[in-house]
Amino acid sequence: MVGEISDAIIRVRDITVQFGKTRILDGLNLDVKRGEILGFVGPSGAGKSVLTRTIIGLVPKVAGRIEVFGVDLDKANTAERRGVERRWGVLFQQGALFSSLTVRQNIQFPVREYLNLSQRLLDEVMVAKLGMVGLKPEVADRFPSELSGGMIKRVALARALALDPELVFLDEPTSGLDPIGAGDFDELVRTLQRTLGLTVFMVTHDLDSLYTACDRIAVLGNGKIIAAGSIADMQASQHPWLQQYFHGKRARAVMG
Amino acid sequence: MSADPTLERIAQGNGLALCAAGSWTARFAPVLEKMVADAEKLRGSRPNIFIDVSQVSKLDTFGAWLIERLRRSLTDGGIEAKIAGLSANYSSLVDEVRRVKAEPAVQTRSVTITGMLEQIGRSVAGIGGTLVGLIEMLGAVLAAAGHVLIRPRGFRLTSTVHHLEQVCWRAVPIVVLITFLIGCIIAQQGIFHFRQFGADIFVVDMLGVLVLREIGVLLVAIMVAGRSGSAYTAELGSMKMREEIDALRTMGFDPIEVLILPRMLALVMALPILAFLGAMAALYGGGLVAYLYGGVEPEAFLLRLRDAISINHFIVGLIKAPVMAAVIGIVACVEGLAVQGSAESLGQHTTSSVVKGIFLVIVMDGVFAIFFASIGM
């Protein structure tokens, strides 16, 4: 179902993930093209987050092969793996900001670890990143517990972007945001993708995000990708879940 | 691909072109920063300076910002330095960093004498605050207990039993093991030193009084503070962090009644039981060492024990136990509810829960010693 794409930035082949006796992912194949925004949808509990976590190496897989930037993550040694990790950024569902560090320190943390920069440059680039995600420099010295939900997402995105990654994983970036905030966030992801030439892997439930932000959509069901393609392909699909998802009451509201 | 970055100066008529080339990326940032700092000195040297970026092979936020920084410092009173040769790929990135406002004020913390004095003053004032907090919690727990007495359906038996299992039943092995060893050590030391006076048998007096009256309960209380006090603080603290306590409150439940009262009751019941088991284990250990090391026959040990100690010693020990348990529990709950949003705060409060708990237990023990001495028990 998924054709070979020559310049795939992520290549997932026959991935199987199991928790105890429950099989979450069952021989899943997926390619993500360089420079695209891939929206990843599926029913709750289908394993969208599990796939994301498997690709970034937080969940062990039973079988299969994962290549990111052409590097097979199972065969890579520690240095190669570090190299790959330095080139991707991850936005976790709850933000996962370090609660004992300020916003400034959170964003500077990965930069400080990997690069040897002057404090002045660190501070200036931190402000630039905050600006990119639409935050004012004044929030820099606040702690994560003093931020609103939307701000946490933005700061977490700024941290994910801190090292200028080529690839970002967004796990439900717009969940918990108001529709306007979510719309802004979609716009932001679009802008950043254009400015920084990012590839974006976005797990989402948000139909608006799919329509406004994503270039391509992949649908997860029964542990496999049941469909992948443009929004028009999705609407044309005969799969019952897709029919319901894209032609349900909420979908009609989004399409106007 | 990753060619070293350069910044050449090329004179053009009465103007100057700064030609950036190579990869202007984070990897080369230290070099780039130095080059930019050198070039910034050219400010005002020519009427027309512009930055040519057409040869830049790779650009990221760090490089783009450094070019922007250079542009800003070269901009001299009304004459704006321009960026030329920007490829379409990078123009939006450069536009993005152009919108960045001036650097934010960096907050520096300086250490001054007044600052240190302020810190000391705050700590002292904090002690008062802590005491008030403890008394408040004691009051709240008593009020909740009274409420439950009037309306017994509000009592959470399951929760209490669960916590009793955690703090009492599961603590038995470690408490028995440690007190057993302490009993052994006291007996061994006693015999070793008393033997010089031919007073071997008095080790039984020392062991009995020490274990039943002081060490037994104190040691167990310290272990419970470390084991269960810290657990209470961490549990309540992480519930506070995730707003679970606020959720309870909005549903019309009193967190003191739901969370703290069962924990306090469990602890108050657990400590006397553990203190009793600990005392028995210590006596057994002491007796074993007295027999194996000091040659005191078990019959002689028991006979001497019966003469040396009265029921008072035992009662004194056990009366202290629930009071110490209450102190440990209250400290642990106050600290747990004081946890703020960060992981660091959770760690700090768990530490201070254990430290304050142990300190107060020892203070209480001293107060009890004076009290029992004066009433002649």
DSSP state at residue B210: I
Residue B107's pLDDT is 57
The pLDDT-based confidence of A6 (bands split at 50, 70, 90) is low
Lookup result for tokens 């136990």: B321
Residue A84's pLDDT is 83
The pLDDT-based confidence of B103 (bands split at 50, 70, 90) is low
CB atoms within 10 A of CB A139: 17
Residue A132's pLDDT is 79
pLDDT at A57 exceeding the cut of 60: yes
> In A, residues 106-125, which contact B (CB 8 Å cutoff)?
111, 115-121, 123-125
Report CA-CA distances (Å) from B283 to A169, B120, B155, B289. Answer: 62, 45, 38, 10
Q: What is the rounded average pLDDT of the residues A4-14?
A: 77
| Chain B residues with beta carbon closer than 8 angstroms to that of A111 | 26
Residues of B with CB under 8 A from a CB of A: 25-27, 29-30, 33, 60-62, 65-66, 69, 89, 92-93, 96-97, 99-101, 103-104, 106-107, 340-345
Residue A2's pLDDT is 45
Give the integer Cα–Cα distance in Å for B64 and B48: 21
Q: In this predicted model, which residue has the larger pLDDT, A237 or B125?
A: B125
Are B343 and A163 within 8 A, CB to CB? Answer: no
Task: Choose among A137, A145, A196: nearest Cβ to B101.
Answer: A137
Residue B48's pLDDT is 75
Give the integer Cα–Cα distance in Å for A118 and A108: 11
Residue B7's pLDDT is 79
Give the integer Cα–Cα distance in Å for B260 and B127: 23
The pLDDT-based confidence of B102 (bands split at 50, 70, 90) is low
| Chain A residues with beta carbon closer than 8 angstroms to that of B60 | 164, 196
Task: Choose among B66, B107, B341: nearest Cβ to A141.
Answer: B107
pLDDT at B254 exceeding the cut of 90: no
The pLDDT-based confidence of A252 (bands split at 50, 70, 90) is low
DSSP state at residue B107: P
Cβ within 8 Å of residue A119, ≥6 positions away: B106
CA-nearest residue to B26 within chain A is A115
Task: Choose among B26, B106, B342: nearest Cβ to A115.
Answer: B26
Give the integer Cα–Cα distance in Å for B271 and B263: 12
Report CA-CA distances (Å) from A9 to A159, A162, B12, B193, B269. Answer: 21, 20, 44, 77, 61
CB pairs under 8 A between A and B: 86
CA-nearest residue to B99 within chain A is A131
- Residue A219: helix, strand or coil by DSSP? strand
Cβ atoms of B209 and B312 closer than 8 Å: no
Does residue A145 belong to the interface with chain B, where contact is any CB pair within 8 Å?
yes
| Chain B residues with beta carbon closer than 8 angstroms to that of A95 | none
Give the integer Cα–Cα distance in Å for B324 and B217: 9
Residue B59's pLDDT is 79
The pLDDT-based confidence of B1 (bands split at 50, 70, 90) is very low
The pLDDT-based confidence of B303 (bands split at 50, 70, 90) is very high
Are B106 and A132 within 8 A, CB to CB? Answer: no
The pLDDT-based confidence of A1 (bands split at 50, 70, 90) is very low
For the segment A122-178, what is each residue's pLDDT rounded down to a tens digit?
Answer: 888 888 888 878 788 888 888 888 888 888 888 888 888 888 888 888 888 877 777
| Chain B residues with beta carbon closer than 8 angstroms to that of A138 | 104
Task: Choose among B33, B92, B104: nearest Cβ to A121.
Answer: B33
Cβ atoms of A124 and B103 closer than 8 Å: yes
Give the integer Cα–Cα distance in Å for A114 and A86: 8
Residue A178's pLDDT is 77
Specify the range with the lowest mean pLDDT, choosing from B95-99, B131-135, B166-170, B363-367.
B95-99
For the segment A174-196, what is each residue's pLDDT rounded down to a tens digit?
Answer: 777 777 777 877 887 887 787 77
Residue among A100, A27, A98, A10 nearest A63 (CA): A27
For the segment B199-241, what is each residue's pLDDT rounded down to a tens digit?
Answer: 888 899 999 999 998 888 999 999 999 999 999 999 999 999 8
Q: Chain A closest CA to B192's CA: distance in Å?
A: 53
Q: Which two tokens stand for residue B173?
A: 């092995």
Q: What is the rounded average pLDDT of the residues B163-177?
A: 95
Residue B78's pLDDT is 62
pLDDT at B182 exceeding the cut of 90: yes
Residue among B14, B12, B96 nearest B52 (CA): B12
| Chain B residues with beta carbon closer than 8 angstroms to that of A196 | 60-61, 93
Q: Which two tokens stand for residue B54?
A: 């057409």
Give the integer Cα–Cα distance in Å for A205 and A203: 7
Does residue A176 belong to the interface with chain B, where contact is any CB pair within 8 Å?
no
Give the integer Cα–Cα distance in Å for B267 and B164: 7
Does residue A83 belong to the interface with chain B, where contact is any CB pair within 8 Å?
no
Percent of chain B with pLDDT over 90: 50
For the segment B74-97, what is each residue's pLDDT rounded down to a tens digit?
Answer: 776 666 677 777 777 777 777 777
| Chain B residues with beta carbon closer than 8 angstroms to that of A127 | 100-101, 103-104
Interface predicted TM-score (ipTM) over 0.85: no
| Chain A residues with beta carbon closer than 8 angstroms to that of B96 | 128, 131-132, 195
Q: What is the rounded average pLDDT of the residues B151-166?
A: 90
Residue B183's pLDDT is 94
- The mean predicted confidence, pLDDT, of chain B is 87
pLDDT at B109 exceeding the cut of 70: no
Task: Choose among B65, B92, B101: nearest Cβ to A195.
Answer: B92
Cβ within 8 Å of residue A60, ≥6 positions away: A17, A54
| E strands in B266-354 | none
| Chain B residues with beta carbon closer than 8 angstroms to that of A100 | 342-345
Q: What is the rounded average pLDDT of the residues B174-195?
A: 94
Are B93 and A196 within 8 A, CB to CB? Answer: yes
For chain B, give the number of residues: 377
Specify the range with the lowest mean pLDDT, choosing from A51-65, A132-146, A238-252, B153-167.
A238-252
Q: What pTM was computed for the model? A: 0.70
CB atoms within 10 A of CB B173: 9
Residue B100's pLDDT is 75
For the segment B321-334, what is each residue's pLDDT rounded down to a tens digit?
Answer: 999 999 999 999 99
Residue B9, sorted as left (phi over 0), alpha (psi -120 to 50) or beta, turns out to be beta
Q: What is the rounded average pLDDT of the residues B345-352?
A: 92
Residue B105's pLDDT is 55
Q: Which of A86, A100, A103 to mutate: most B Cβ within 10 Å?
A: A100
Q: What is the rounded average pLDDT of the residues B51-62?
A: 79
| Chain A residues with beta carbon closer than 8 angstroms to that of B344 | 99-100
Residue A198's pLDDT is 85
Cβ within 8 Å of residue B89, ≥6 positions away: A197
Residue A253's pLDDT is 64
| Chain B residues with beta carbon closer than 8 angstroms to that of A163 | 26
Are B26 and A111 within 8 A, CB to CB? Answer: yes
Lookup result for tokens 């695209």: A36
Q: Chain B closest CA to A232's CA: distance in Å?
A: 28
